[in-house]
Amino acid sequence: MLTVIDPSTGEVVREITPAGAAEVESLLAAAEAARASWVDRGLDGRAQVLRGVAARLRAQVEELAPLMTEEMGKPIGEARGEVEKAAWCFEHYAQHGAEYLAPQTIESDATHSYVQHLPLGTVLGVLPWNAPFWLAARFAAPALMSGNTCLMKHDPHVPGCARAIAQVVAAELESVGAPSGVFANLPLETPAVADVIRDRRVDAVSFTGSAKGGAAVASVAAGEIKPTVLELGGSDPCIVLADADLDAAADTITLSRIINAGQSCIAAKRIIVESSVYDDLVGRLRMRLEKLTVGDPRSEGTDVGPIARADLRDGLHRQVTETVAAGARLLLGGEMPDGPGFFYPVTMLADVTESMTACREETFGPVMVVMEAADEETALALANRTDYGLAASVWSTPERGEAMAGRIAAGQVAVNGIVKTDPRLPSGGVKGSGYGRELGPHGIREFVNAQQVWVGPRRD
């Protein structure tokens, strides 16, 4: 059973029966049957559908956003913004997909030789709960634009969001006479995913989630020789050097750390500050964190909503208490609150060292971890000593920040700005944060056959 618990109250709000074998078979068969007509629709026809999906998302934002607030506790303002961002993603690929997929001429001994980008078939997206609409769009928009059909296996804790996403896409497909099998919601409990990956009608897998889950998905897919893209966790370093604009840095770091109650893979997780400005920045960060309001995610005035699940909150509190016990300074929060729901206070830990839990593990919640580094080289070494490599940020002069970016082991680096995902730019990680890229031109080419075509006669 897929059980939805409102994290602001702890109460069960709905239960949904997962798809049985017959429904799974029907959806797989429909996806396969829809392939040819979806490809035949061409880039312009597919772009028309994506633009229609974007328009429907924007028109229904006030219906769709509350689903996230109810199912995973996203503050309502952030939820509206997420629906809008999902619409932007569909719109972006409708506008730029043809350009990204254009054949590439490569000189050889042929009269004409080139690479064309053809769809693989059906792509399975295995998605997490923390950004239900955005992550669905990030997976689906490029895959659909390139001519693939899509099956979306969303997190069991957000089935209402998953159903709503599928209904929006289905309505647009129906309006243009495209088959419903082009995109479908696959409401499954997690253990059932492996059999779907192994099915001959699934050609590739996109996974966003934990390192443990990604390893399991990648293992099954590799056994079937199917391509995968993995976007996994992160313990993203944010390096602040002495020549940084400290007020701008403090503003952005605070925002990065508390968006979605800190439940973001690319949030700044380890704030590494050069010694000469360490105390100054700690004070500025604390002042900003103290002003944040934790409360009902349905309230327009709430900055930080609840943690999505009770077990996640318990794990976060363990990380905080172990870190404090190891010698970190607890400057804010850190106490498990009474009352209903899965709320956790905005928490600030200073003087954290590499051996402490909050540095070694990814913290998924409104917990800021601040670490001191003697100089630039020490900060860089500390940033790179992690099993993760998703994203990073540097605060310094633009020239110094750019020079450091190439020395940081991460899939993306922001210099004097917030780390974010953007449909125009590729996103993804290295090391334990996964492989492959989503978004931008790189993302749409992950699930295509880059087919080489050689046309004779041969030239000398």
> Over 338-353, what HEC string results?
CCCCCCCCCEEEECCC
**HSE of 76 in the Cβ direction (CA atoms, 13 Å)?**
14
Is 265 considered catalytic here? yes
CA-CA-CA-CA torsion sign (132, 135, 140, 145)? positive
- Collapsing DSSP to helix, strand or coil, 318 comes out as helix
CA angle 114–117–120, rounded 5-degree value: 140
Q: Radius of gyration of the chain from Cα atoms?
A: 23
CA 331 – CA 285 distance, rounded (Å): 11
- Cβ(130)–Cβ(72) below 8 Å: yes
Of 231, 274, 361, 438, the active-site residue reads: 231
- Cβ(133)–Cβ(68) below 8 Å: yes
Of 161, 238, 265, 359, the active-site residue reads: 265
Q: What are phi and psi of 375, to 5 degrees?
A: -160, -175
H-run or E-run covering 181: none
From the list 94, 108, 104, 86, the residue with the least C-alpha distance to 49 is: 94
Antiparallel, parallel or unpaired: β 270-274 and 367-373 = parallel
Token representation of residue 98: 């043809």
Say whether the peptide bond before residue 457 is cis (omega within 30 degrees of 0). Answer: yes
Strand partners, 304: 294
- Cβ(203)–Cβ(221) below 8 Å: no
Is 231 considered catalytic here? yes
Eight-class DSSP state of 3: E
Q: How many CB atoms lie within 10 A of CB 387?
A: 13
Largest distance between two CA atoms of the chain:
80
- Collapsing DSSP to helix, strand or coil, 129 comes out as coil
Start-to-end Cα distance in the chain: 66
List residues with catalytic annotation. Answer: 231, 265
